[in-house]
A and B are shown apart, each in its own frame.
Chain A
Amino acid sequence: MATSVYTVDEERKTVWVYLEQTDGKLEGVAVELLGRARVLADQAGWLLAGLVCGNEVGHLTEQALMHGADEVWLADHPFLADFTVEAYAHVAFSALMQGRPSVFLAGATPNGRDLASRLAVRLRTGLNADCTDLRFDARRGILISEVTGFGGGVLALLEMPRHRPQMATVRSGVFPTEEPDPKRIGRVVKVPVDLPGEAIRTKVIERVRGQRVDLTQVRALVCGGRGMNGDFSSLDHLARLLGGEVGATRPAVDEGFVGRERQVGQTGVVCRPKVAFACGISGAFHFVVGIQNAGAVVAINSDPEAPIFEFSDYCVVGDVSRIVPALIEAIESQREAAHA
């Protein structure tokens, strides 16, 4: 078996987290990963480090320390102002070769996945994508990544015993955000950026960011599937009433009923709302994983045999187009009564 670029014998017993930032702000998933990685590192008494890349992002080091890092490795350079996978992979690779961590985690965002995928090949190591949990065998120093088999109620546990770093990506919302501790201190390691300009063959011509919908933080989530036949207006209304957001299954997104940023499930967003509604959704497992952390789940489906009812607290066999308006009316009249 071929070895990784640095081997088990050459690893340093540390856990690293890639701290993705956008416009000088840490992504939520980076903070969530720090919280989880802190727990893993403590199990073995290891050091936890964060890696920040960007331009004029030094202020993020303090935040990383507050959220659990003992060390922050900082690559700060104008070439890193725009994310290009070539520049970021170059810098992250040299930091990793210097730090040689045993474990390296990243958020499963579009850019986080690109970066991790290229680094894994460059380091000749493995990468477990979209893990639903991370555990640690502290005695052996082995990361155990949990992933769900596609469509499956079966979880696979993956590990890489002989390659380093042990890499994994995790979606936003899988781990909760832990409270920062402003008293935590640590050290900052500057990563030299020796980037030949011609190494970057990617030019960013234009970048457009709209209103970001963050379904991972909502308290009420109203989801629709193909059974909504394209009409999400009642779900929009219910979501507004509850101060929540609308989500959708992948088929509903593929049909163009709602935007891709609202896709819930294994290849979308994993949410932890207090209440989730599943309307006109059959209940494929790759959707259900997206709401399995919800406080309560309500399912409305005309098919009494729909699998979604297996995963719901309150099951309504009926027509969404009659139940949802009735629920909206009931909530409005209850609020009016409370007001009067």
Chain B
Amino acid sequence: MPELRLVVCMKVVPKPEEVRVDPMTRRLDRARARAEINPPDMNALEMALTLKETHGGRVSILSMGPPSFEPHLRLGLAMGADHVYLLSDALFGGADTLATTYTLAAGVRKMGGADVILCGEESSDGATGQVPPGLAEWLGLPQITLATQVSLDAAAGTLRGRREILGGHEIVEVSIPAVVSVKAACNEPRFMDYRRKTWAFETGRVTVWDREDLNVDDSRIGVAGSPTIVSGLDEAAVRERKREFLHGTPDEIARALLERLDLNA
């Protein structure tokens, strides 16, 4: 069997715990938030690196975003990935999931295809979870979403995975090529290899492709390719709460709560 081609889709997002809501304006203050790789994408990378350890092959990172993503993606090289492909073009900006998955699919095709494409289950900023199945649809591939474990039978060309469903889990088997979305926190992403770090940041290969390289249809990318528009922003109609502070000893507080709440089951 030829070399196994593993592709990990990664996104760089603002750290959610550093995005604050301004209590006065109730607006997001993301200016002070530092960027990081979307956490479940790290679990996807770990899963890919584990597959590579067992089966050999190459791990490529695929991302769509501005050039500022590059140093973050190089951390993936330091962890063990072989190559970064960054799809970057001013016209890719403002993409909803339809345009994003179209562009990522074009990137996979330009790379010459893949055997297993792994993505984090969802991004911490968009949180739609739509990219992995959408990408699978553009490429006409089967999928295993919300996977916590996978195992590959390279000879048979099948991938088996355990995925979460309502109230439980199931084990499904798909033929490869296939797309996997990986559950957050399902594994422990390895630390970067400090011996690889210098290589990753100095000579590690990052290929940047724009829309001409990908030969994409301009009407399907970025804002132009996004059916969804933001028609308005509304102040969150957060229900007014009483905000009554209760003071005293724990027993006094407990009694005060009992007077105020209907707790009879």
* Partner-B contacts on A (CB < 8 A): 1-2, 4, 22, 27, 84-86, 89, 109-111, 113-114, 116-118, 120-122, 124-130, 144, 146, 148-163, 201-213, 219-220, 241-244, 254, 260-261, 266-267, 274-275, 284-286, 288, 292, 296-298, 307, 309-318, 322-323, 325-327, 329-331, 334
In the complex, are the beta carbons of A157 and B231 less than 8 A apart? Answer: yes
Compute how far the CA of A130 lies from the CA of B129 in the bound complex, rounded to whole angstroms: 10
Complex Cα–Cα for A334 and B259 (A): 11
Which residues on A sit within 8 Å (CB–CB) of B175? 201
Q: Given A117-B97, A160-B229, does the pair A298, B173 have CB atoms closer than 8 Å?
A: no
User: Is the pair A209, B168 in contact by a Cβ cutoff of 8 Å?
Assistant: yes
Across the interface, which residues of B come within 8 angstroms of A127, CB to CB? 97-98, 128, 130, 228
- Cross-chain contact of B167 among A151, A155, A209 (Cβ < 8 A): A209
Is B220 within 8 A of A160, CB to CB? no
Residue numbers in A under 8 Å from B124 (CB-CB) = 150
Q: Are B254 and A330 in contact (CB under 8 A)?
A: yes
What are 22 A-B interface contacts by the 8 Å CB criterion?
Answer: A2-B217, A86-B142, A121-B98, A121-B134, A130-B127, A150-B19, A151-B16, A153-B21, A157-B230, A202-B173, A205-B171, A207-B169, A207-B170, A220-B263, A310-B241, A310-B243, A311-B241, A312-B241, A316-B245, A326-B254, A327-B254, A330-B251
Total residues of chain B contacting the partner, CB 8 A: 86
CB of A294, distance to nearest CB on chain B (Å): 9
Q: Are A118 and B137 in contact (CB under 8 A)?
A: yes
**Residue among A117, A146, A202 facing the most chain B CB atoms (10 A cut-off):** A117
Asked if B136 is at the interface of the complex by the 8 Å CB criterion, the answer is yes
A interface SS class: mixed
Determine if B172 and A205 form an interchain contact, defined as CB atoms under 8 angstroms apart: yes
| B145 interfacial contact with A, CB 8 Å | yes
Query: Do the beta carbons of A266 and B170 come within 8 Å of each other?
Result: no
Instruction: Tell me whether B130 and A117 are in contact (CB under 8 A).
Output: yes
Segment at the A interface, from B2-10, B66-74, B84-92, B232-240: B232-240
* Chain-A contact segment, one of B23-31, B107-115, B207-215: B23-31
A212 to B164 Cα, complex, angstroms:
13
- B56 interfacial contact with A, CB 8 Å: no
Check if B122 sits within 8 Å of A267, measured CB to CB: yes
Which chain B positions have C-beta within 8 A of A121? 98, 101, 133-134, 137-138
Listed from nearest, the 4 A-B pairs whose CB atoms lie closest are A243-B265, A126-B227, A129-B128, A326-B250
**Contacting pair B226 A152 (CB below 8 A):** no
CB of B219 within 8 A of chain A? yes
Chain A hits for B146, CB < 8 A: 110
B91 to chain A, nearest CB (A): 13
A162 cross-chain contacts in B, Cβ below 8 A: 227
> In the assembled complex, how far is the CB of residue B178 from the closest CB belonging to chain A, in whole angstroms?
8
Of all chain A residues, the one with the shortest Cβ separation from B138 is A121
Known contacts A118-B137, A121-B134; 8 further A-B pairs (Cβ under 8 A): A126-B226, A127-B228, A153-B235, A163-B227, A202-B172, A203-B173, A209-B168, A267-B127
In the assembled complex, which residues on chain B have CB atoms less than 8 Å from the CB atom of A144?
Answer: 231
User: From residue A28, how far is it (CB to closest CB) to chain B in Å?
Assistant: 10
Binding site for A on B (CB under 8 A): 16-17, 19-21, 23, 26-28, 96-98, 101, 122, 124-130, 132-134, 136-138, 142-143, 145-146, 160, 163-175, 184-185, 217, 219-220, 224-239, 241-246, 249-251, 253-258, 260-263, 265
Chain B interface mostly: mixed
Who on chain A is nearest to B123 by CB? A150
Point out the residues of chain B lying under 8 angstroms from A114, CB to CB. 133, 143, 145
Q: A110-B146, A117-B97, A326-B251 are in contact. Are A334 and B234 (CB under 8 A)?
A: no
B253 and A154 within 8 A (CB):
no
**B115 → chain A, closest Cβ, in Å?**
14
CA A204 to CA B142, docked complex, whole Å: 13
Q: Which of B27, B137, B243, B250 contacts A122 (CB 8 A)?
A: B137
Contact B166 A212 (CB under 8 A): yes
Task: Compute how far the CA of A330 lies from the CA of B251 in the bound complex, rounded to whole angstroms.
Answer: 7
Min Cβ gap A163→B in Å is 4
Q: Is there an interface contact between B254 and A120, defined as CB atoms closer than 8 Å?
A: no
B124 → A minimal CB distance (Å): 7
Contacts of A307 in B (CB 8 A): 21, 23
- Residues from chain B with Cβ under 8 Å of A154 in the complex: 26-28, 233-236
* B242 CB → nearest A CB, Å: 4
Question: Which residues does chain B contribute within 8 Å of A274, judged by CB atoms?
Answer: 262
Chain B neighbourhood of A296, CB < 8 A:
260-261
CA distance A154 to B255 in the complex (A): 36
Bound CA span A114–B165, Å: 11
Q: Is the CB of A2 within 8 A of B23?
A: no
A268 → chain B closest CB, angstroms: 11
Residues of B within 8 A of A153 (CB): 21, 26-27, 235-236, 238
Q: Which residue of B lies closest to A109 (CB)?
A: B166
B243 close to A152 (CB less than 8 A): no
B146, B185, B220, B250: most-surrounded residue (chain A CB, <10 A): B250
What residue of chain A has the Cβ atom nearest to residue B145's Cβ? A114
Do the beta carbons of B164 and A313 come within 8 Å of each other?
no
Known pairs A1-B224, A153-B26, A209-B168; A129 contacts B129 (CB<8 A) = yes
Chain B contacts of A148 at CB under 8 A? 236
Indicate if the CB atoms of A314 and B246 lie closer than 8 Å: yes
B20 to chain A, nearest CB (A): 8
Residues of A within 8 A of B229 (CB): 158-161
Q: Is the CB of B236 within 8 A of A152?
A: yes
Cross-chain contact B220 with A298 (CB below 8 angstroms): no
